[in-house]
Structures are given as C-alpha cells and as structure tokens.
Structure 1
C-alpha cells in the first residue's frame, strides 16, 4: 500500500498471548494506536482486554440493558456518520465527459467546473486507469444528546469514540466497508444489484436496498465517481469556504428516485446535494447533502426527520498520480419535529484520517463483495 505518512498510527497485528513464540494474528480492521492505548496500563493487559472485548459479543452479554443501549447508540452513530449512503447511482464505466450542447448556462458552467476538477485530481488517463481501490483509516466520532430547539438548552457532548475502518471498491457499485468503534462493528456493502448493512452485534434483520454509493467515496477518495455525480449538476453561484473562493454546484434527487427509496411507513420529501469547488485549485473542498423525510407513527401521526451533513476535505496528496484527500471533518445535524412531537435536535461530528490508499488491487473479484447469506429473507429497509 502507498503510505500516507512515514509511520502509520494504526495497529494491525495482535500477538499470540497464549503462546509466546506463536505467530501474530492480522486484525481484520486495524485499530488506532490512540484507541489501543486506552485499553490498559501495559501492552499485555491491553491485548488481553482487547481479546475479551472482541469475544464479549455473545447473546447473553447483548441482552444486558446497559450493553444493549450502548450498542444501539454506537450503531446509530456508525450508520448516520460512519457509513451513510448517497441516494444517487453513480454512472458505471470510465466515461467522465458529457457534451455541453443543449445545456443551460448553469448546467454547462457546472460541466466546465467538473472538467477543471478532473484535471486537478489527476486527469482522465490517471482516473480511468483505476479499476479498484483499498483504503484504511481512522475516525473519531462525538455527538450531543437530543435537545429541544425551543428555548436555550445546553448541548452536552458525549465522550469521543475512536475507531478504524477498511474500505474496498471495484467500480462504483461493487464496494465493502468494515468499521469498528468501541466494540461495535458495522459492515456494509454493495454487490451491484443491491446494497446492504448490518452490525456484528445486531440481532435484528440485515437491512438492504437498491445499489448506492457510499458517501465516504465522495469525500475526496474517488474523484471519478465525484466527477460523474456532479456532471448532472447546476452551478448556482459562489461562496468563500475556509478563505477559498468556490463555485457551488447543486444536484436535486429526482421524484422517481425518492419514491423508489421510500418505504411503507416513510416518504423522502427531498434530498439535495452541493459541492464546493475551489476556483484556485479546482479541487472540491466541501461536500454537503440534506434530506427531509416524513414517518407515519402507530398513532397515525406524521413526524419529520431532517438530516444535514457537511464534509470538509483537507490534506490532498497524490497517490499513483491521483489527488486524494487524506483527512477531513463531517458535521451532522439531525432535527425531529411534527404536530404531536416536540422539536428536537442533535449534533454529531466525525473526524477522519486516511492512513493508506492502494489502487488496482490484484485478486479482487465480484465474489469479494458477496452479501451475507441471510440477506434474501430480509425486507427492503435500507
């Protein structure tokens, strides 16, 4: 893999505690050194605590109310911040060019801005040469409790959670993400026909839906997918982001896509995406999306949920001729309101750091992205 730094801050091997001369075990998901350091007073105790933590995910442990509540909270954080999806399918194939003819001024301007972005991230030959990708990194997630938006209430932050992730991709619709934070592991992926997500601690059915890209790809990791996404956008103006003058590209999810992704008890009212592209460098420095949906309760009341995510991409570095963002921050605001519900708001934040990126991984096939065996029995709930 291509090193993002001289020394990785992820721990990848677990020593054989039972046999001093035994072979070390490769961790499925590397964990941050900072996370490992909190597990005990010395290395031996830390590894023993970690093994205990990994083996603790049994049904009797999960039945404890305290443990169950803790895992539900971690799952909420990882689903909403660590592994959100985007409701638009990214164009398959390597084409990152659309004709400007018969386009409005806003649409043709957007296509020109996207072409500048393609050049800034390596150019068509480098981007089109990518067949697959593997990324490892670490994340830090913090969140507030739900608080009422009427009146002045103090927002109390929870403790910061630290974890690591591994991400594999082969073309836009073939991908798999494994992320672990504080003992909770979430695995999600897409095999080109459907996308799915579940937690290793989860006793409820696996959720699934139509194939969609992982939002993390559009946070500076996959320039070709980002370019293909915004080729259908419109340029709506300019804005200064972190002292950078940027063009604003906007994309609306169509009614047909919103209807297809709705469910029996909820409806997606809108989902809007914005990209902020630096006029100086051509790179995308901020990515936003906002979704509003309504849910019908058992009492036949409507409750509205609005989720807004704002990601800032930083530390762009070239890997095999492709300019990739190696760190950033995502802020999430979740609002709940309705006639029979008090207005509540919750704020979350994720900071990420990419440790290694490798393109064109050998031996990666479509079989590498097979969904869990029990997926066919579950409803379309993703």
Structure 2
C-alpha cells in the first residue's frame, strides 16, 4: 500500500478496523481479513492524523486543518464539524471521556480543548453541520501565550452587519485576561517594549502573535501584500525607523509563507490592475534568480523557492537601509531574519539569519 496509515479505530463490535491515512482516505478492513481493505472512502481534504470511536457506527477524526469531523460508518458519510482548533494548528490526538459526554483534543496550538457531545445524536439532521460548542480549554504555556489565543474558537458571522459579535468577543477576552492578571492592562498602558519587529504578509492565515505564541505587547508588526520591503515604501520605512530607533527592537523578522497569493500572482503573466506595480518587486526577485528558479522543473517547488527568495530579498533591503546601517554603526544589538511559514503544517522555518549571512549573500 502506497498510502501511509496514521490513525485507527476498532468498530462494529470488534468486527472492523478503520484506518486514516496521509492522503485523507479512510480504509476499512474486516477483522481477520487483512490482505485487502473492504472499503475506501476519500472524504477528507487533508491527512487523518488521529481518530476515536464514539459508538460502533460513528467516529471522530482530526487532521492537519485543525477540524474535528463527525463521520458515520454505515455508510461512510461526513456528518458535521464537532470543533475547530484553527486552520494553522494541526490536531495530534482526540479522545472521548469515560462518560462519553466530552471529546478532548489537542494540537499544535498547545491547548487541550473539550467539546460537549452528550446530545450529539439527538440533534436534528438540519443542524448537523453546525460546530459544537467548546466547553473549556487548558493551555500548557505561560500567561503571555494564553492571552494570544481566543478563549473560544470564534468564527465571524457574516450576518453580523453591525459587528456586535466582535465587540462581545472583545469584552469576553478582556474579562478573561483581567481574571487571569488584574494588572495586565494597567501595565500595558505604561509603554510597549517589544524586542521583535515582524514584517509579514497581510494574509489572514499568518497572524504574527499567534503562530509564534506571544501575547500583546511582544511584537511590533508591519504587514503588506507578500511581505515586500522596498526602499520607496515610506510606510514600511517609517515602521522600521520607529522600531529600531525608538523601541530598540533586537530582532527583525521578515516572514513569507508558502501558498502566498501575491508571490503566485507575480510568478504568472496575468494583469491585476494597481497591484501589478507592487508585484513588480517580486518579479524583479524572479529575474535576479532566474537560473536557479528555472532549473526547478516542478512548479510547486519553484513557487516555494520564490517565496523564500522574496523573503531573503526583503531582509536584504532591511539590512541595506540607512536605518539599520546606522544602528549597526553605533553598536546597537540588532539581527535580521528571513523566515518562511508553511500553511500545511503550521511550522515556521529559518531561511537565513544573522547579519553576517545576509551581508555574504549580497557581497
């Protein structure tokens, strides 16, 4: 079998084994007949990394998209979403409590969450696609980490035209923070002392504080389409100057991400209007690295490498700015990093770091 098996559950009173795979396929074997799977169901858009049995006819699966799915087995059918850790946080384990009232799940968001399922099979079929409510969650990191994650995994309701739901979310968050640390906002009012400037993409799937698990006040952030740093962008340069000369940050991270729409658009030949002028910067990166990129016959690998080269190029521009050059000249502690974030697995990778390496690339 070419497909990698990642998870399994024994169902039907021990007569069947269901296994989840890397491709997202569910395989079923009849007990004792292991030569060939009796059934295959291609119903998951991602790998099935973990699963647990709810009853003899029903399982819960979890994958690298952060969703807990309810699956019926006879026939195999998607019934709804039980919970969501977030798109950038793959699931590692799901289990049912001994009384079968809750499902516990944990993933790359470093939280243990519990979902109420007591009335799971009493719901009307028309409600089956609605997510179940999370009862509570436990974080295993310091308080600065816990504050960076919402107390509940909220989704925006497009029917909320007055944004009342967002304001309510804010009040709930503020109350939860004060309960944990009554002095949090009072201390925050005094001043901000971040040690990191983050220059990232505007993509909603790459939230700086959340993916590195730092709370409010820890990162000074600038974002634009495809994390471009250009010497004529006064917006970006103003942020850079304030971060270096006033806040005295010690690290500047330029973070790109794979599957970046801006990089993909720059890689193609279509016209998109005003944004084409902005994407010209990335086309120049392609031109400067044409031989390396065109030696990659695989289009996906070529795009991934262009994402990396674009982040490196922006980091080089940060280094070449008079703001950073002057900081180094006066002995200020400052390191520039180029990173790439992988949406598939939620991990961030150093492409290159330290001023020495960046100068070597441009020499």
TM-score, length-normalised on structure 2?
Answer: 0.30
Structure ranking higher in helix proportion: 2
User: Which has more radius of gyration?
Assistant: 2
TM-score, length-normalised on structure 1?
Answer: 0.28
